[in-house]
Structure 1
Amino acid sequence: MYGTLDAISSGPVDARISKNSTMVGVGMCMEGIEQNPVVYEFMSEMAFRKEKVPVLEWLKTYTHRRYGKSVQQIKEAWAILYHTVYNCTDGIADHNIDFIVKFPDWDPSINFGSRPSKLNSMHTFRSRTRSRRFSFQERSSDLPQAHLWYSTHEVVNALKLFLAAGNDLAGSLTYRYDLVDLTRQVLSKLANQVYLDAINAFRRKDVKALNIHSQKFIQLIKDIDVLLASDDNFLLGTWLESAKLLAENPSEMRQYEWNARTQVTMWFDTAPTNQSKLHDYANKFWSGLLEGYYLPRASSYFSYLFKSLEKNESFKLVEWRKQWISFSNKWQAGLELYPVKAQGNFLTIAKALFDKYLS
């Protein structure tokens, strides 16, 4: 989830009325779509606006239109999302990094490498003593950086409000989409911190802690996959079947499925021990892709970390790459079927995951 609603509310108007303006209209040129619906709806509407829009007031009417009724908890939740997730103002463009779907390719025995100053600090979840609740902190690190521009604590509160509106909106498909997406957002940021906890345990040569954190990371992948499976918009199967439907013969069908699998994973300019420079470029939080593709990658990586500690030897990065790339190539050529219909009760699943990880 990502957006700059304040910029959208004023940018087109400022451009139109600026000195010597040659602006003739408003348009969008997206490399990717089918995410963050509020951003696209707001930007589309700005083509018909002559004055700047007060975003908070606009969101109140937007939520009524989107869910079919006005619910106080939803209004409060969107007010939080407006000032957090949808208010990125730090100028960092690469906001599409979560370690589940964009797994760091590095040897954790050494520093990850220098980063631009804006990336030298990161916001993290930190667990409290004798509690599963997570709070928001900021710290410097030589570890991989996941871009985070908002208070996770506030967004957890927004999720709590969304869940509280479930009795009123359980029948709304747009509510289902937004609740699943918001729950995924919160848990993916938690997973980022769990990954870093695992890496720090490895660096301390703490096998017990590495086992705890790596297993938690793996479990988060499994749980998020179940969550995503509860909404039709987050299914790998839909993507693959839509590609296959374009084929006119079996040969084309296999090619189109390979294309679809390759685009969202490794791409194709790989070598036996070097991933494509575009790997994970088009990563997706889709059910089926998490458990079928991202989970084996993380499991393999953690397995090599354990071997390194057990044998008291350096991390075998090249060997891990070789194993992982081989698996990826086989997966891209696979023909296994994935569901195209949602499974499970989204509200029950989201509530259970909130209680499990955030209560």
Structure 2
Amino acid sequence: MKLKSLIIAALALGQAVLCANSELHGIYKLVARQLPQFADKFEFALVSPTSASSNDSYTISSKAGKDTVIISGTTVNSLARGFYHYVGQCGSVSISWTESTIDTLGSLPKLCGAGHGSLDGAAVVPWRYYFNTVTFGYTTAFYSWADWEHLLDWAAMHGINMPLAWVGYEQVLIDVFEEFGFSQAQIVSFLSGPAFQPWNRFGNIQGSWNGSLPLDWPRRQMQLQQKIVKRMVELGMTPVLPSFTGFVPNAITELYPNATVINSSTWSGFPVIYTNVTFLEPLDPLFTKLQVAVIQRQQTYYGNVTHHYTLDQYNENSPFSGDVGYLKNVSLGTIESLRAADPDAVWVMQGWLFFSDASFWTDERIQAYLSGPEIGQLLILDLFSEGSPQWQRTNSYYGHDWIWCELHDFGGNQGLEGNLPTLTKGFTSAMANSSSLVGVGLTMEGQEGNQIVYDILLDQAWSSSSLNIRRYTKEFFKARYGPMTVPADVIECWHDLVTLVYMNNASSVVNVVPKSIYELAPNINGLLNITGHHPTKAFYDFSSLVDIWKKLVGAVAASPTMLQHPHVHYDLVDITRQVLANQFLDLYVDFMHFYNATNPSASTSSEIIDHARPLLDVLRTADRVLYTDVNFLLGSWIARARALADGNDTIADYYEFEARNQITLWGPTGQINNYASKQWGGLVGSYYLPQWEMFVETLAVQRNVSAFNPATFLHTVLLPFGIQWQWEKWGQTENQTWGVQGDLLPILVELVQTF
């Protein structure tokens, strides 16, 4: 931001502080951050609801004869939503996960919409929830305060009023465990590294396969959480804070030999040293003592800011017993522990367990487990409502409050996919058929694109009827690419793309974000037509996407200044990335057809290598394209991690290992290999390309289909390469830059000629 803008923002903020009462400080500060040049042109007011509904609402109007916008709302969060409604619809600007163009407005927009007298909005549900526990690993693990400021502004302006707030939990645990007699060594051996803490919190894993967690990390993260929670409250949000889940260091059996503990399940093939986490039963009085200590410690750090607490005991962990009496007592003990600490506590539970372990969680067992808390004491996130909803088979969770959630993205996958009709109609149908539905939520594991798929659900929370997708698409991209006038042919391209990939009519086969096969371990089979949570199966015509992409490239080539817009640049990189991923799949099929249809032993090694050359060239091109945008860089991910070490090279190296391991091997020896893979500049070139080169070289040497052994190739070639790669340091070679390389447009113009 330019110095002049900062000065204007400071003056506006000073005026806001003088004029507004303390409740409104947060919204005035948001406007000063996002639209500093016009921050003094807004007046905000909190008003009582004017209808029978107590849900959030707002009205936007202008002061007669004055260049002032007046926004009144029932909550601070509704004021933030109203502000974004105004600048987005009337000013054609937007904020995304990566960028904000709101401060590019050259003049204060005139009121728009029906009648131009006022704009208004009213939420149809009380809660708009945000985050999956594992988003704090796949996306925000290494976020700085600047990153969080941007994300929380995005959330507030999109009407989110219930965000999950996990950051800094480990410092709370350290304090409490020390209070209860655990040594520092016992505690540190239990805690996992920064990139894997969500699964430690779930009780899936324990410890770190990269040495012990530096104690500087939890302390700094707690300090960051203090800022995060304060900002959430300023923006009218209700944070969902952590609680004591029951997972403890195994030294508890030495300190408290009479404690009732069990070992949780082995998770994802991890060695025992890193899994089978010790679980203190909620029926044990010690559980309540620890719960009270954890919540009181949080209140000391963050204030008395919420009554909502996240607590998941059986995320991909099976209970000790399936006896319905036992299950009821576990949940009863859990809610009683929360209420011992906070008499108004509400237990927030991710409902993933009922889907992921459906063979255990029969309807009878679910009902028993949910019968411990009384109605009003439990809030359940129906985590995968758009793909595998559980609310119907559980009769709306037997009357408990629940939230309709969109999961969609596993591990931070990046393929283009969505089903907008399912999101809009699925939610409105649920509203009509469930009296205990109280909100919508975004619960993606990682947020890596497909922005329209998430924004539309948050906007649907403010409409009782299903949104018109064609109209929504037009308005979405007018704002996303504004405030410039967006060419009609660009909007039409997006209508075509939405029809092709975001109205997925093959959702019974693919209903989540796909993964490119080049992110998987190279193999002669098993890579195609994968379904499930990491699908590779094609669900649309690849050539149709190429046609749309060519038109978009043509539009930008005709008006190159469009690429200066960050969202235009991002989207063109993203679509080009997908075009190349699709091309790689087609070329892989051709290469495997050549290798299998002919007699490889009759071919020379050079012929096999020559036939694979186009396949490998696609990866080189993809790396070049991705390197042109800061949001698609391995260097950005690693730089964030290393920056949190505050200049300590040893700790920075530890964080870099964490960052590298998560997106590749995910475990000491590839336990969840490539689960969180990414199509990033630098990662494609330094990690995937060498693996595919080794694959081609192996086939060329063996020249016999039956001689290729996938397990042998994985363990003798790929795994040693991956282990070595994760210990490297970024920036050691000339081509490993921290920032972007090259210009996108010349690459696109050249690339289009090859299709």
Same fold, judged at TM 0.5 (above): yes
User: In structure 2, how many angstroms separate the alpha carbons of the residues matched to 1:193 and 1:320?
Assistant: 23
- Note if contact 2:635-2:730 (Cα within 8 Å) is conserved in structure 1: no
| Aligned residue number for residue 151 of structure 1 | 541
Contact 1:95 1:147 survives alignment (8 Å): no
2:423 corresponds in structure 1 to 8
Is the 1:225–1:286 Cα contact (8 Å) retained in structure 2? yes
CA distance in 2, matches of 1:22, 1:318: 49
CA contact (8 A) 2:528 2:537 kept: no
> Which of 645, 663, 672 is the equivalent residue of 1:278?
672
The answer as to 2:457 corresponding to 1:43 is: yes
Mapping for residues 144-223 of structure 1, pairs under 5 Å? 146-166=536-556, 167-168=558-559, 169-203=562-596, 204-206=598-600, 207=603, 210-223=608-621
The residue identity in structure 1 corresponding to 2:713 is W
Cα gap change, 1:196 to 1:94, in 2 (>3 Å): farther
Match of 2:723 among 329, 334, 337: 329
Say if 2:520 and 2:674, in contact at 8 Å, map to a contact too. yes
Partner of 2:665: 266
Please give the secondary structure, in 2, of the residue aligned with 1:26: strand
SS at 2:478 equivalent: helix
Aligned position for 1:297 = 691
Distance 1:113 1:298, change over 3 A: closer
Secondary structure, counterpart of 1:48 in structure 2: coil
Deviation digits for residues 66-97 of structure 1, max 9, x if unmatched?
11122112112111111111122332346523
After superposition, the CA RMSD in angstroms is: 2.4
Worse-superposed segment, 346-355 or 288-297? 346-355
1:237-248 map, 5 Å: 237-248=635-646
Report the CA distance shift for 1:301/1:156 in structure 2 as closer, same or farther (over 3 A): same
Equivalence for 2:437: 23
Aligned equivalents of 2:593 and 2:441: distance in 1?
Answer: 46
- Residues 262-285 of structure 1 show CA distances to partners (whole Å, capped at 9, x for unaligned) of 000112242xxxxx2411111101
Equivalence for 1:250:
649
2:481 match: 67
User: Match of 2:450, as an amino acid?
Assistant: N
Give the whole-Å Cα distance in 2 for the aligned partners of 1:343 and 1:114. Answer: 32
CA contact (8 A) 1:244 1:254 kept: yes
Q: Which runs of 5+ in 1 are unaligned?
A: 120-144, 271-275
8 Å CA contact retained: 1:238, 1:339: no
Give the number of the structure whose alpha-carbon radius of gyration is greater: 2
| Compared CA separation, residues 113 and 328, structure 1 to 2 (3 A) | closer
**Cα shift at 1:294:** 0.3
CA contact (8 A) 1:2 1:36 kept: yes
CA contact (8 A) 1:258 1:332 kept: yes
For 2:500, the aligned partner's letter is: T
Give 2:516's aligned residue: 98
The structure in which a higher percent of residues are helix is 1
Deviation at 1:224, TM superposition (A): 0.6
Q: CA 1:209 to 1:185, structure 2 compared with 1: closer, same or farther past 3 Å?
A: farther
| 3-state SS in 2 of match to 1:100 | helix
Q: 2:713 aligns with which of 276, 295, 320?
A: 320
Choose from 470, 478, 490 the match for 1:56: 470
How much does 1:289 deviate?
Answer: 0.2
Q: Matches of 1:352 and 1:27 in 2, distance apart? A: 42
The range that moved more, 201-210 or 95-104, is 201-210
Contact 2:517–2:527, Cα closer than 8 Å, also in 1: no
Please give the alpha-carbon distance, in whole angstroms, between the structure 1 residues aligned to 2:440 and 2:512.
24
CA distance in 2, matches of 1:175, 1:50: 31
- Aligned pair partner of 1:32 in 433, 442, 446: 446
Check conservation: 2:616, 2:692, Cα contact below 8 A. yes
Gaps spanning 5+ residues in structure 2: where? 1-415
Provide the residue aligned with 1:84 in structure 2.
500
Deviates more, 1:192-201 or 1:283-292: 192-201
Deviations 1:152-198 (A, max 9, x none): 12111110121122133222110111011101101111101111211
Looking at structure 1, the residues matched to 706 and 575 of structure 2 have their Cα atoms a distance apart, in angstroms, of 41
Partners in 2 of 1:223 and 1:156 — Cα distance? Answer: 16
The answer to whether the Cα contact below 8 Å between 2:529 and 2:536 also exists between their aligned partners in 1 is no
Aligned-pair CA distance for 1:223: 0.5
Contact 1:180/1:350 (<8 A) preserved:
no
Report SS of the residue matched to 1:24: strand
Q: Please say if residues 431 and 437 of structure 2, whose CA atoms lie closer than 8 Å, have aligned partners that are also in contact.
A: yes
**Partner Cα separation in structure 1 for residue 518 and residue 430 of structure 2:** 39
Native 8 Å contact 2:418 2:513 kept in 1: no
AA partner of residue 418 (structure 2): G
Task: State the one-letter code of the partner of 1:146.
Answer: T
CA distance in 2, matches of 1:227, 1:305: 28
Q: Per the alignment, do residues 147 and 114 of structure 1 end up closer, same or farther by CA in structure 2, a change over 3 Å counting?
A: closer
Question: Are 1:232 and 1:342, in contact at CA under 8 Å, matched by a contact in 2?
Answer: yes
Aligned counterparts of 2:542 and 2:658: Cα–Cα separation in 1: 36
Q: Percent identity?
A: 27
Aligned AA for 1:51? Answer: S
Compared CA separation, residues 55 and 342, structure 1 to 2 (3 A)? same
Return the offset for 1:336.
2.8
TM-score (ref. length: structure 2): 0.40
Task: Pick closer, same or farther for the CA change 1:82–1:318 going to 2, 3 Å.
Answer: closer
- Write the distance in 1 (CA, Å) between the matches of 2:671 and 2:514: 16
**Structure 1: how far apart are the matches of 2:539 and 2:623?**
25
- 2:630 aligned partner, one-letter code: D
- What code does the residue aligned with 1:60 have? K
Contact preservation (8 Å) 1:76, 1:161: no
Question: SS at 1:35's partner residue?
Answer: coil
**72-81 or 314-323, which deviates more:** 314-323
Kept after mapping to 2: 8 A contact 1:76/1:158: no
Q: 2:706 aligned with 1:308, yes or no?
A: no
**C-alpha distance in 1, partners of 2:582/2:499?**
17
Say if 1:180 and 1:228, in contact at 8 Å, map to a contact too.
yes
Equivalent pair of 2:637/2:659 in contact (CA under 8 Å): yes
Q: Secondary structure at the match of 1:27?
A: strand
Between the two structures, name the one with larger relative contact order (CA 8 Å, sep ≥ 6): 1
Instruction: Count residues in correspondence.
Output: 320
